[in-house]
Amino acid sequence: MPILPGPLRRLPAHLAAAGRAGTEAGHDRPAAGHSTPGGGPGTWPAADEGRPFQAVYDASKSFVQSFAEALRNDLKDTGVTVTSLMPGPTDTEFFDRAEMADTRVGSGRKDDPPTVAEQGFAAMMRGDQTVTVGPLLNKVQTAAGKTVPDRLKAAQHRRMAGPGSGS
């Protein structure tokens, strides 16, 4: 695959990771009672929003969320669960790689990756369909995102993710 410019270079990895996990789970038909993680890295609320400065990333998250929902339904009679993990900002290299270290979200508080993974794993083992992990603020933002108009969510995200907003 040719090298894609700028934010487009993240798209194949997000889609491939979700597709690979889903295809393996769907075609190999794991034994009843097994769990399959849905999704991939990043902030799941991105799947429900068209956020400024992250159009490609958010589109990839929408694909992954839709794919997880479809796969969950495809596997409903097999005993296999598909869990969508919706973390808040997590302390990984994402913000540096996305050139967002100077933003409010990139320079702000982030969750510990092992803690996020543990919470996601526990939810998957319980058979939860989706899990929002992290602090209460992330859970409130995720819940509010279902009722707040898109234009207001986009304006808020612009303030948090705009270049230089963390300075």
Q: How confident is the model at residue 32 (pLDDT cuts 50, 70, 90)?
A: very low
Give residue 104's pLDDT band: very low, low, confident or very high (50, 70, 90): very high
| Residue bearing tokens 């996601």 | 120
With 0.85 as the threshold, say if the pTM is over it. no
Structural domain spans, the chain: 7-160
Second-level CATH architecture of 7-160: 3-Layer(aba) Sandwich (3.40)
Label residue 110 by pLDDT band (50, 70, 90). Answer: very high
Provide the pLDDT for residue 29: 46
153-157: which pairs have CB atoms within 8 A and are 24 or more residues apart? Answer: 153/49, 153/51, 154/49, 154/50, 154/51, 154/52, 157/49, 157/51, 157/52, 157/53, 157/54
